[in-house]
Amino acid sequence: MPLIQRVLAWLIGFYRRWLSGRGPLRDVRCSFAPHESCSAFGLRATAEAPGARNAVGRIARRIRRCRDACLVSDGRALSWTPLHDRSPFEIVDEMRDDGEGAIAIAQMLRVRRAVAIWRADLASIGACDALLADPDAAMPPRVCAEQPIRSRARRRLAIFGTIAVVSAIVVGLLPWIGGIALGLVAIAGALSARTTFAQERRFELHRTWASRRRTTS
């Protein structure tokens, strides 16, 4: 295994040994593929991928799928990520290319099928049924309440803002360390903010769709 992939495997192993299940991560549970957690998948992807860039890509897409497998509802409208605007066949092809197992693929198809039912998309419902060899093997789609998700996102942004202020203070004392920390926090905060705002925009769009459908039905 090339050096970069060995380093990547070491970092994942460090996370599994010292961070997973501890501190702020103690209540984290995988609702997408509990048979193979994201960190376990990351180790396997690192060992099987032809290169470090390919391994990182597979791991990044798996982490996104954990989010994609959770639908959001306020009791009136259902919202989903952009993945479920794609064809079920495209989703399955990408997951197979990334080395995802049959259980994970079936679980994502169940979520995609729920979106298709909500949208009355008969073609996608049929495609999901054709691809699901054993529909009962996957867990029911997880639907999360909208308000707690928004609250967690805002708390996360507040934490990033606090850390950024502390890092800015450290810059005056230890310029190199503080500067690196501030840069990393800025990047993480910007990515988190982009995800949060994109989720809120999509939910408002799907809420509008649901309202129009109720009006015309």
pLDDT, tens digit, for every residue of 67-119? 899 899 888 889 999 999 999 999 999 999 999 998 899 999 999 999 999 99
Location of structure tokens 């079920």: 88
pLDDT, tens digit, for every residue of 178-205? 666 667 767 777 777 777 788 888 888 8
Write the DSSP string, 144-207: EEHHHHHHHHHHHHHHHHHHHHHHHHHHHH-HHHHHHHHHHHHHHHHHHHHHHHHHHHHHHHHH
pTM for this predicted structure: 0.78
pLDDT, tens digit, for every residue of 148-184? 877 877 777 777 777 777 766 766 666 666 666 667 7
Rounded Cα–Cα distance for residues 9 and 152 (Å): 30
Rounded Cα–Cα distance for residues 118 and 77 (Å): 9
Rounded Cα–Cα distance for residues 81 and 198 (Å): 9
Q: Nearest to residue 160, comparing CAs of 183, 139, 127?
A: 183
